[in-house]
Amino acid sequence: MIPFTHRILVTGGAGFLGSHIVEALQHAGYRSIMVPRSSECDLRDAAAVTRLFREYQPEVVIHAAAVVGGIGANRARPAEFFHDNALMGIQVIDAAWRHRARKVVVLGTVCAYPKFAPAPFSEDDLWNGYPEETNAPYGVAKKALLVQCQAYRRQYGLNAIFLLPVNLYGPRDHFDLESSHVIPAMIRKCVEAVERGEPEILLWGDGSATREFLYVKDAARGVVTAMRHYNSPDPVNLGTGEEIPIADLALLVAAETGFRGTQRWDRSRPNGQPRRSLDVSRAEREFGFRATIPLGEGLRETVRWYRANRQTMKAGG
């Protein structure tokens, strides 16, 4: 158990998942939570990371900072996705050890799994093949951090744990069509089509790929629960254990946004990984985590948030 008096550093704490982790920590009773802004501390800069740890002296580190995006962003910036994610994680984990943090929680990604891993993905299958090509640089960079966590545990005794969240969605997600993930992209396209009276929207792929989606508040609760109760070297999936074809997801999003037009599929665009679903039994067995927000309810809340905040997002660039 992590005492409520411990100083907790959340990298990426102002971002999508990170901001919800901070709220989950506060809800659990933690008050000494430090959230460095990227404008104040570039985690790719070793000297900046050292200064950060010297100043804050955190007892617990949750590394949620990442360069993320959908298939399009991964294809356009593979070097950046590999370099920045690997470098940030390597330096944060090393600094946590050097500054004697008592625990480190590192967020990985479902993209680390092999392209043709049998679904649902078991943590034991993580190394049985190469990730799907469109997001392999991101997935491999994150998977390298698991190796680092286990190596630092073995050689230095660092209590580092590694979590593998599935595709996330929810309030405060990114809705830029050039870099967003599938759910925010669909929501934005549908909402704008309704407002403009457009008869159709264009979606990537053919709709046959399956995905599993975890509501971001559930994910944040899972991270905090693992921080408090999990202390083993084995990676752990965070998800719902339920997958849905992208074509069916598009119908759900259309229903929630009121879009009644045609959904046209651009088959020249990649589907990405054929299937994506997690075996979530380890999380429930090891620290009692189970997702509670159904997809329909989560989509409703996400659409509501987007409509209420889209003008603010536009004003902020």
What are the tokens at 34?
A: 């430090």
Tell me the pLDDT tens digit for each residue of 221-268. 999 999 999 999 999 999 999 999 999 999 999 999 999 999 999 998
Q: Tokens 């630092």 sit at which residue? A: 152
Encoded tokens for 26: 């506060």
Q: At what angle do helices 216-229 and 16-28 cross, to 10 degrees?
A: 50
Domains (range + CATH), the chain: 8-170+214-241+276-293 (3.40.50.720)
Torsion of CA 254, 255, 259, 263, to 10 degrees: 40
pLDDT (average), residues 275-285: 96
Average model confidence (pLDDT) across the chain? 94
Place of tokens 């740890």: 53
Q: Determine whether 113 is an active site residue.
A: no
DSSP 34: E
Asked if residues 242 and 277 have their Cβ atoms less than 8 Å apart, the reply is yes
Q: For 143-154, write each residue's pLDDT tens digit.
A: 999 999 999 999
Calpha distance 281→253 (Å, rounded):
28
- pLDDT of res. 239: 98
Show Cβ contacts of residue 144 under 8 Å, excluding neighbours closer than 6 positions. 86, 89, 90
The C-alpha R_g of the chain, in whole angstroms, comes to 19
From 30, 56, 113, 138, the catalytic residue: 138
Pairing label, strands 210-215, 103-107: unpaired
Cβ(87)–Cβ(11) below 8 Å: no
pTM: predicted TM-score of the whole model, two decimal places: 0.94
Q: Which amino acid is at 95?
A: A
Write the pLDDT tens digit of every residue in 51-106: 999 999 999 999 999 988 877 788 889 999 999 999 999 999 999 999 999 999 99
The span from the CA of 125 to the CA of 156, in Å, is 27
Sorted by sequence, the CB contacts under 8 Å of residue 84 that are 6+ apart come out as 44, 67
